[in-house]
């Protein structure tokens, strides 16, 4: 685990930010550094910068469910419900992540809604747009 990640876990987003920005210069293609930068910016209430970092983490690792989950939280906070739902759904679609215990409350709510609604759909439909 990197020093930046350890600083995040310790709750020191300022130190984490400094360490992670240095790490980003050394390894700009590392999605985990961008993800952790997103969390550090979130800890400083810098939502725009946090959003950019989560998007970069996803660009580098398209199946990065944790990044989708945090990005969804930002959209939900901003009232961008549809964008939030899309992010949470992408997190849930990853079979390696499809674990409700790992989702944030909004994502967990989406998971529960999907599970409940599956029994309401006509046979042969998936419930996804365009299906």
CA distance 26 to 23: 5
Domain boundaries in the chain?
A: 3-118
Classify domain 3-118 by CATH number. Answer: 1.25.40.10
- Residues 30-40 have pLDDT tens digits of 999 999 999 99
> What's this model's pTM, rounded to 2 decimal places?
0.74
pLDDT tens string for the chain (131 positions)? Answer: 689 989 989 989 889 999 999 999 999 999 999 999 999 999 999 999 999 999 999 999 999 999 999 999 999 999 999 999 999 999 988 877 755 555 555 555 555 444 433 433 344 444 444 43
pLDDT single digits (tens) 121-131? 344 444 444 43
Count of positions (residues) in the chain: 131
Q: Which residue has the tokens 């952790």?
A: 36
Cβ neighbours of residue 1 closer than 8 Å, sequence gap 6 or more: none
């Amino acid at each position: 685990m990197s020093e930046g990640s350890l600083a995040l876990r310790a709750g020191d987003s300022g130190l984490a930010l400094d360490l992670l920005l240095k790490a980003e210069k050394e390894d700009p293609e590392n999605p985990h550094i961008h993800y952790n930068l997103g969390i550090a910016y979130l800890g400083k209430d810098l939502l725009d910068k946090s959003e950019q970092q989560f998007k970069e983490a996803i660009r580098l690792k398209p199946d990065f469910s944790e990044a989708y989950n945090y990005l969804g939280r930002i959209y939900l906070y901003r009232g961008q419900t549809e964008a939030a739902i899309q992010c949470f759904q992408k997190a849930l679609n990853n079979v390696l992540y499809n674990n409700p215990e790992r989702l944030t409350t909004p994502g967990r709510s989406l998971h529960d809604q999907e599970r409940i609604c599956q029994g309401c759909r006509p046979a042969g439909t998936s419930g996804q747009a365009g299906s």
